[in-house]
C-alpha cells in the first residue's frame, strides 16, 4: 500500500471513529420524550432511534467495537504511512540517519494522536451532547444496521460483559436512562418559574410534585368528623339525611362504629312503596376499599380506580380503623378543590 493510500485510510478511519463515538453518546444523551412523538407520527428514523435507545447495551457494544477497530487500524495502517512520508523531509534537514526514523515516528504519532483525539473523539462527542435528539436521529439508524450485520459478535461480547457484571452483583440494564427523574423535573420547574419562563399561579404544578410525597394518612377523614348512618338505615333515612346535609353518599357503620360500606342516594331513589321503611338491601350497599394509611396517594388512586370505588376504609399499622378516604380528596391534591355534593363540611 502506498503512503498516500495510507493517508486516505487515515481520513476514512477517523470518520468511522467519529461516527461510532457520536452514535454512542447520542444514544445515551437523547431523551425518549423528544423522540417518541416523532415515532408516533410515523418517522422511521425515530422508530429506529427508539429501538437503539431500548437496546442501549448492544448499541454501546457495537460502538466500542467500531471505535477499537478504527483506532487499531489507524495505528496499523495510517501511522506507518505518515511515518514514512516524514522520513524524506527530515533526512534532508541534516538530522543523523539514525535519528530520522525515531523523530519521524514521534512526529507521526503526535499528529495521529491529535487527529484521533480531537476529530475522532472530542468533536463528535461534543456535537452529540449539544444536539442529542438530532444526532440520534442521524446516527442511530446506521448504527442499528451495523449492529445487525455483526449481531453474533456483538451479542457474544455483550453476554460476556453482562456476565462479569452479574458476578460483581450489578444488574445490567438494556436501556439508557432517557427520562427525567421527579427531582430533575422539580428543579427545572423551579428554575423556569424563577426566571419567568413558566408561571404556576394556580399551584397545580407544585401540587403535582407534593402529591407524590403524600400518603393516605394525609387525606383521611376521621370517623368523628364524618356524617354516618347505621348499617340498618332505611332508604327513607338516607333521603332524609340528603335533605338535611346535602351529601349524596353516606358511610354505614355497625354498632361498634366501624365502617361496613356506603350507600349512594341514587341507589335508594328507586325504592318501591313499602321498601322505604326497611333497611337498605345488601345488594345496594357499596363496598369500601381497604387501604393502609401508609400507602402512597398515587397507589391509592390506582387501587380505587381499579375497583371503581369512591370511598376507602383506612386502617393504621395496628389494623385499627383510622377513618375514611374519599376519591375526591385525592383528586383535590392534584387539581384543587372539587365542588360536589359529596363534599364534607
* 113 close to 80: Cβ distance less than 8 angstroms: no
pLDDT of residue 16: 95
pLDDT of residue 206: 59
314 — pLDDT class (breaks 50, 70, 90): very high
pLDDT digits (tens, 9 = 90+) for 151-193: 899 888 888 888 898 898 887 775 555 455 556 555 656 666 6
Grid coordinates representing 254 are: 355497625
Cα gap 81→285, rounded to integer Å:
89
The more confident residue out of 145 and 299 is: 145
pLDDT of residue 274: 60
First to last CA, the chain: 91
Domain parsing of the chain, residue ranges:
3-167, 182-211, 216-335
Q: What CATH fold (topology level) applies to the domain 216-335?
A: CBS-domain (3.10.580)
Lowest-confidence region among 208-217, 242-251, 322-331: 208-217
Cell 345488601, located at residue: 282
Is the pLDDT at 328 greater than 70? The verdict is yes
Which residues have CB under 8 Å from 299's CB, separation 6+? none
Amino acid at each position: 500500500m502506498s503512503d498516500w493510500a495510507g493517508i486516505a485510510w487515515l481520513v476514512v478511519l477517523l470518520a468511522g471513529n467519529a461516527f461510532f463515538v457520536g452514535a454512542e453518546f447520542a444514544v445515551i444523551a437523547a431523551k425518549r420524550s423528544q423522540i417518541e412523538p416523532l415515532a408516533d407520527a410515523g418517522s422511521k428514523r425515530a422508530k429506529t432511534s427508539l429501538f437503539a435507545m431500548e437496546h442501549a447495551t448492544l448499541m454501546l457494544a457495537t460502538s466500542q467495537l467500531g471505535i477499537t477497530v478504527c483506532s487499531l487500524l489507524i495505528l496499523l495502517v495510517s501511522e506507518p504511512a505518515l511515518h514514512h512520508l516524514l522520513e524524506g523531509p527530515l533526512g534532508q534537514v541534516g538530522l543523523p540517519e539514525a535519528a530520522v526514523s525515531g523523530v519521524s515516528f514521534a512526529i507521526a504519532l503526535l499528529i495521529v494522536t491529535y487527529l484521533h483525539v480531537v476529530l475522532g473523539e472530542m468533536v463528535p462527542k461534543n456535537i452529540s451532547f449539544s444536539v442529542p435528539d438530532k444526532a440520534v436521529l442521524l446516527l442511530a439508524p446506521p448504527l442499528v444496521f451495523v449492529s445487525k450485520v455483526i449481531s453474533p459478535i456483538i451479542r457474544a461480547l455483550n453476554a460476556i460483559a453482562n456476565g462479569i457484571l452479574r458476578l460483581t452483583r450489578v444488574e445490567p440494564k438494556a436501556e439508557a436512562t432517557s427520562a427525567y427523574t421527579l427531582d430533575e423535573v422539580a428543579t427545572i420547574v423551579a428554575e423556569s418559574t424563577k426566571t419567568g419562563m413558566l408561571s404556576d399561579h394556580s399551584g397545580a404544578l407544585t401540587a403535582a410534585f407534593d402529591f407524590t410525597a403524600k400518603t393516605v394518612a394525609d387525606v383521611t377523614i376521621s370517623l368523628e368528623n364524618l356524617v354516618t348512618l347505621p348499617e340498618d338505615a332505611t332508604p327513607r333515612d338516607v333521603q332524609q339525611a340528603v335533605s338535611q346535609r346535602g351529601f349524596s353518599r353516606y358511610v354505614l357503620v355497625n354498632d361498634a362504629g366501624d365502617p361496613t360500606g356506603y350507600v349512594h342516594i341514587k341507589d335508594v331513589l328507586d325504592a318501591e312503596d313499602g321498601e322505604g321503611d326497611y333497611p337498605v338491601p345488601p345488594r345496594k350497599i357499596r363496598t369500601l376499599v381497604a387501604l393502609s394509611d401508609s400507602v402512597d396517594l398515587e397507589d391509592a388512586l390506582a387501587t380505587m380506580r381499579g375497583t371503581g370505588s369512591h370511598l376507602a376504609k383506612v386502617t393504621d399499622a395496628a389494623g385499627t380503623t383510622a377513618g375514611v378516604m374519599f376519591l375526591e380528596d385525592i383528586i383535590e391534591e392534584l387539581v384543587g378543590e372539587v365542588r360536589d355534593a359529596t363534599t364534607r363540611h
